[in-house]
Amino acid sequence: MFGKMLQSLEGGGAPGGAGTLWVLGDGRYAIGAVGESNYQDALEEVAGGRKPKGVNKSVTAELEPEDDNPYDASAVAVRIDGRKVGYLSRSHARSFREEAGERLLAARRILCRGRIRGGWDRGPRDRGHFGVTLDIGSGEG
């Protein structure tokens, strides 16, 4: 289900430095974050504000397992520029943790490509929410 997982433990080669796990999808950005409605202020800030036509911004997202999450011990938060902007769905979080396995223990950071979309502002009665999609899927599963 998930794409290639490339780990840099040495620090030299991969962007993100030592202990970084990169999850590389197939370019479809098919997995959406959930719960973004709770993080619209953070998304607006990361996206650079609202625009009349909205935004379609490429970003680097960080996936952060939240073992101490009071609602779901398998939760995986999505962060952009250090700000929480949503979560993987419960089923995606569990699948991701299973597929990543031991690599999660060695990783200090887990990064992937993402996109922020939406956020148009055409007046008080026409404002769109921001959403986040991630390029972590392989198109299988």
**3 state DSSP class of 9:** coil
What tokens does 56 get?
A: 């379609």
Given a cut of 60, is residue 12 above it in pLDDT?
Answer: no
Whether pTM exceeds 0.75: yes
pLDDT in tens, 45-61: 999 999 999 999 999 99
pLDDT of residue 10: 47
pLDDT given at position 93: 96
Dihedral angle of Cα 105, 34, 91, 6, to the nearest 10 degrees: -40
* Average pLDDT of the chain to the nearest whole number: 89
In this prediction, residue 15 carries a pLDDT of 56
Tokens 């709770």: give the residue: 38
Gap between the Cα atoms of 109 and 9, Å rounded: 11
The separation between the first and the last C-alpha atoms of the chain, rounded to the nearest angstrom, is 4
φ and ψ at residue 79, rounded to 5 degrees? -125, 145
- Predicted pLDDT of residue 69: 97
Strand 31-32 with 109-118, pairing? unpaired
139 CB-contact burial (10 Å; exposed 0-12 / middle 13-18 / buried 19+): exposed
Per-residue pLDDT of 59-70, as tens digits, reads: 999 999 999 999
